[in-house]
Structures are given as structure tokens and as C-alpha cells.
Amino acid sequence: MSDSLGRLYLAVLAAKDLDPATSRTARLFQRGPAKMAKKLAEEAIEVVIDAVNGNSDAVVRESADLLYNLTVLWAAAGVRPEDVWREMERREHLLGIAEKLPKSSVKLPKTVAAPAASPAVRRRIVALEGRSLRKRH
């Protein structure tokens, strides 16, 4: 699986400097991180709506769009797929592969605990744009 995302990541990097008139990827890079984030959020909402509606074929299609937009945002942020895999491996060693790290200040083993100088800070939620939760067809 990571090989496919790695290939997608390389393709995104190769397309980011193409003509925005003909390349969706170049157009996203031209419009900046806020537009990239908005597209990523839209795709995530579409995956959720399709999953709740039990439309697994649509979940597959929208998930591909979600991964594409996530990869574009990674590239813009200077994040590589291997950075994410490394974090997944770190979490697997802490809690198991199928668990997400808690947001609260849970006591982690001292070898992986965050430094005392950097307390956990909740990130501010930023509204991207008003949008209906109904999926557009």
C-alpha cells in the first residue's frame, strides 16, 4: 500500500510545477495550502457521507480522491509518506497498529513521552468555508 502512495507522492511532486490551466495538481499548488485543506476536508466529508449511506463503491472512489488531496497537502507541507509511516510505526509500538494515540495527557512510557517544556496544546479549529453537508452529485 505505501508503495502506491509513494508513487502518488512522486507524481504530485512532478506535477506541481506544470501549467495550472491543464494540471489539477499545479492549480492546487498555485492556490495554496488553504485551498488544499478545503479540498481535503470536502473529500473526507464525502467519504463519511457515502459510508453512512452504505455506498461502498462510492467510499472507494471518494477515498482515492481523499488520498490524492492528502498527498498534495503533504507535499506542500514538506511531509513525505515515509514520515507518516515512521509515525505509524512509533504508535504501533506504543498502543498497537489499530489504536490512535489519545489527545489527552495520558501517561506514556518515559522513552516516548513528550518533553516537559512542550505541553500538549489543542489546535485552533479554522472554518474553511460554509458548506452544506449534503453530497453534491
Per residue in 99-119, pLDDT (tens digit) is 666 766 555 555 444 444 444
Please tell me the distance from the alpha carbon of residue 105 to that of residue 15, in angstroms, as a whole number.
41
Q: pLDDT (tens digit, 9 = 90+) per residue, 41-55?
A: 999 999 999 999 999
Which class is 1-137 in CATH?
mainly alpha
pLDDT at residue 107 in the model: 57
> How is residue 97 written as a grid cell?
497498529
Residue 76, pLDDT score: 97
Task: Using the predicted structure, report yes or no on whether residue 2 has a pLDDT greater than 50.
Answer: yes
Question: If you write DSSP's letter for every residue of 65-93 in order, what string do you get?
Answer: HHHHHHHHHHHHHT--HHHHHHHHHHHHH
Q: Is 22 helix (H, G, I), strand (E, B) or coil?
A: coil
Backbone angles phi, psi at 99, to 5 degrees: -115, 150
The answer for residues whose C-beta is within 8 angstroms of residue 12's C-beta and 6 or more apart is 25, 68, 71, 72, 75
